[in-house]
């Protein structure tokens, strides 16, 4: 069930925000699928929703959770690509320093 939700989430987000490059497309697919499956599983585990698997409506609800958890995976990939594209000519120390400053709120 999680794989169906993962696939649907990937299709939706890639239709909304099309990948600009092949590498962005590949990383986006992988990230969305992983976020969908692992995020959905984490939500089900955390809230102890395993009993949903006992009937068809519960399985559909699990599919919806997996779908919803995949959407942020694509957003994170887009943000990361935009962040690193703007800093393409910077060396690693500059990028790490900037990330640290962002984390500190500077």
Q: What does the mean pLDDT of the chain come to?
A: 86
Residue partners of 52: CB distance under 8 A and separation at least 6:
44, 58, 59, 61, 62
pTM: 0.69
Percent of the chain with pLDDT over 90: 34
Integer Cα distance of 15 and 19 in angstroms: 9
What are the boundaries of each domain within the chain? 2-104
Q: What mean pLDDT is predicted for residues 63-81? A: 85
Is 80 exceeded by the pLDDT of residue 91? yes
Whether 1 shows a pLDDT value over 60: the answer reads no
- pLDDT at site 48: 95
pLDDT digits (tens, 9 = 90+) for 9-61: 777 777 777 778 888 888 888 888 898 889 999 999 999 999 999 999 999 99
């Amino acid at each position: 069930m999680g794989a169906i939700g993962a696939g649907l989430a990937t299709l939706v987000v890639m239709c909304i925000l099309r990948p600009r490059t092949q590498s962005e497309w590949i990383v986006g697919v992988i990230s969305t699928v992983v976020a969908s499956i692992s995020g959905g599983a984490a939500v089900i585990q955390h809230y102890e929703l395993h009993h949903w698997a006992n009937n068809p409506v519960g399985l559909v609800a699990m599919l919806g959770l997996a779908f919803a958890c995949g959407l942020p995976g694509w957003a994170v990939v887009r943000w990361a690509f935009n962040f690193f594209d703007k800093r393409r000519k910077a060396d690693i120390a500059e990028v790490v320093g900037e990330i640290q400053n962002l984390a500190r709120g500077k």
